[in-house]
Amino acid sequence: MKTDRILLDHGSGGKISHSLTLDIMLPVFDNPMLSKLNDGAILNIGGKKFAFSTDTYVVDPIFFPGGDIGELAIYGTVNDIAMCGGSPLYLSVGLVIEEGFLISDLERIIKSMGAAAEKAGVKVVTGDTKVVPKGAVDKIFINTSGIGLIPDNVDVGCDKAVPGDKIILSGTIADHGITVLTQREGMTFTSSVRSDTAPLNHMVGKIFSSSKNVHVLRDPTRGGVGTSLNEIAEKSCAGIKIYENKIPVKNEVKGICELLGFDPLYIANEGKLLAFVSPEDADKVLSAVREDEFGKDACIIGEVVSGHPGKVFLETGIGGIRMVDMLTGEQLPRIC
C-alpha cells in the first residue's frame, strides 16, 4: 500500500509495518547486525557475544488485568534479549510524561517496573525523564533498552529454521491483545481475560539447558503468531506448516475473537515464545518449557517443511489447508 503519510497500520507489526522497515529504514542504516531483523542486535565485543534491544511502549489503557505499561516495558525488552539467546543483564528506562499526569499513577508504574526487574533478574542502571505539555502525549510513554550476554554455544536467529524443525509454542495465544481491547472498549464478560505479560528469560535458560539444537526463538508480540511465523519463513527461505487443532486458545478468548471477527493468530502476545528445535530434541525442550511457570500449556504446533519456501500453511480442524499470510492492516492499535 502506497501512502504519503504515516498510518496507524505502520505500527501494527504486520505487512505495512514490515515494509516501513525494509523500504525506508534499512536502506539508510543497513549493516550485517541490523539486516538480520531479529528481536535485537547480536554484537561481538571483545571476543564475547551480546544481545542489545530497545522498544517503546504506548499501550492504551496503561493499567489492565494482568499487568500495566511499566511491567510490560521491562518484560518486553527482557524477552527481546532472550529471543536473541542472551541472558538479560542491564536495562535503561526513558519516560515521556504528559503534564498533569497523576504522581500516584507514576509511583504505581515505577513500583511495578521495580518488581518486574527483580522477577526477571535484571537491573535498571540508567534512564531519562521528559515532561511535555498536556495533549502532546497520551499520559505516559516508556522506552526501555537492554543488553545481555549470549553464551558461546548459543546461535539462534529468525534465519536459522531448517526443514524438520519442530515448532513449540509456550502457551495460549491472543490473551494480551484481547485483554487490552476489552478494557479499552469497556467490554464486560462473565469470564475475565488477563494479559499474559511475563518474563521469558528463565524459560529460555531451561530450553538451552535441555538442548543445543535450538535454531529460532521468537516472541510473537505485534502481529501475533501468524506474522512471526511469516517473518521466520521468509528469512529462513523455508516452508512452515502448523495445525489448527494444536494451537492453544482459551475458550473465552476464542469466543471474543469469534464475536468480533478477529483471528487469534494475528493478535499480540506478551508472554509467549516460539521455539524451532531439531526433531530429536523436541520432546526434551517441550518438557523443559512446561517446567516453567509460564509454559504449562506449551505444545508442538507444527514443523518446518522443505517445500513452499517463505510460506506458512495451516491445516484446519477439518483437514483443509489455507495459507497464513502476514498481518495486513491494524487489528488492534496501541496494544504495547
Give residue-wise pLDDT tens across range 251-308: 999 999 999 999 999 999 999 999 999 999 999 999 999 999 999 999 999 999 999 9
Closest CA to 221 of 112, 109, 116, 80: 80
pLDDT number for residue 335: 87
Closest CA to 14 of 3, 25, 22, 5: 22
pLDDT number for residue 191: 65
Burial 266-276 (b: 16+ CB within 10 A, else e): bbbbbbbbbbb
pLDDT in tens, 217-241: 999 999 999 999 999 999 999 999 9
pLDDT number for residue 233: 97
User: Residue 133 region, left (φ>0) first, then alpha (ψ -120 to 50), else beta?
Assistant: beta
pLDDT number for residue 304: 98
Mean model confidence pLDDT for the chain = 94
pLDDT in tens, 177-224: 999 999 988 876 666 899 999 999 999 999 999 999 999 999 999 999
What structural domains does the chain harbor? 8-150 (3.30.1330.10), 166-323 (3.90.650.10)
- Whether residue 143 has pLDDT greater than 70: yes
pLDDT band at residue 12 under the 50/70/90 scheme: low
The residues, ordered by sequence, that sit 6+ positions from 142 with a Cβ below 8 Å of its Cβ are 56, 57, 69, 70, 73, 93, 94, 95, 96, 109
DSSP string, 2-67: --SS--GGGGSSSHHHHHHIIIIIHHHH--TTTTT--SSEEEEETTEEEEEEEEEE--SSSEETTE
pLDDT band at residue 13 under the 50/70/90 scheme: low
Q: Identify the residue whose cell numbers are 523455508.
A: 238
pLDDT number for residue 329: 66
pLDDT in tens, 22-46: 888 989 999 999 888 888 999 999 9
Closest CA to 325 of 2, 1, 15, 8: 15
Across the range 72-91, mean pLDDT stands at 98
> Model pTM?
0.94
**Cα-Cα-Cα-Cα dihedral sign, residues 296, 297, 300, 302:** negative
pLDDT band at residue 7 under the 50/70/90 scheme: confident
Across the range 51-64, mean pLDDT stands at 97
Q: What is the grid cell recorded at 275?
A: 521455539
N-term to C-term CA, the chain:
24
pLDDT number for residue 17: 77
pLDDT number for residue 330: 64
- Whether residue 14 has pLDDT greater than 80: no
pLDDT in tens, 101-140: 999 999 999 999 999 999 999 999 999 999 999 999 999 9
